[in-house]
Amino acid sequence: MSESHELLDRLVAEETELRFARFTLDDAWELGGRLRAAAAEARLPVAIAIWFGPQRVFHTALPGASADNDAWLDRKHRVVERFGRASMLVGEEFRAKGEDFDVHARLDPREFAAHGGVVPIRIREAGVIGAVGVSGLPQLADHDLVVEQLRAYLRE
């Protein structure tokens, strides 16, 4: 199995795994704080955001992050809103078909980015209600930081 197929399989499995029974504004604040603490401890130059639907309910930036990271978060979040899947997964699905998201999705690449870093907040019985994202690292590292913190939060 190729590296890209292994990554695609992993991303699909994460989609099934990372589901909440419920997720509130208080959960968003706590998860955002945990993400920020983990990124600060590792001295990562990232911006972090959490959305309920289109409303950004948590946002922070660490030293080294810039307004460009906020723009990337917005573009990746639009992909999650549109497709209901992690921004990294959407990009990998296009690549697996030999397609370029920026061309084949027929969406404005200034508004949509299928790069890793934003993951849906999925409620088991309701579906996608929001998203959590990181921007500032290479795309797989952005994605993995979010997934690592979602897993830790779900374990508790």
Instruction: Spell out the domains of the chain, with CATH numbers in brackets.
Output: 3-155 (3.30.450.150)
**Cβ count within 10 A of residue 15:** 16
Among residues 20, 114, 126, the alpha carbon closest in space to that of 76 is found at 114
Beta strands in 43-137 (DSSP E): 47-52, 55-61, 118-123, 127-135
pLDDT for residue 156? 87
3-class DSSP assignment, residue 20: strand
Burial class (CB in 10 A: 0-12, 13-18, 19+), 132: buried
**Model confidence at 4: pLDDT above 90:** no
Average pLDDT of the residues in 16-45: 97
Average pLDDT of the residues in 32-60: 97
**Model confidence at 1: pLDDT above 70:** no
pLDDT for residue 2? 67
> What is the tens place of the pLDDT at every residue in 134-148?
999 999 999 999 999
Q: Do the beta carbons of residue 146 and residue 132 sit within 8 Å? A: yes
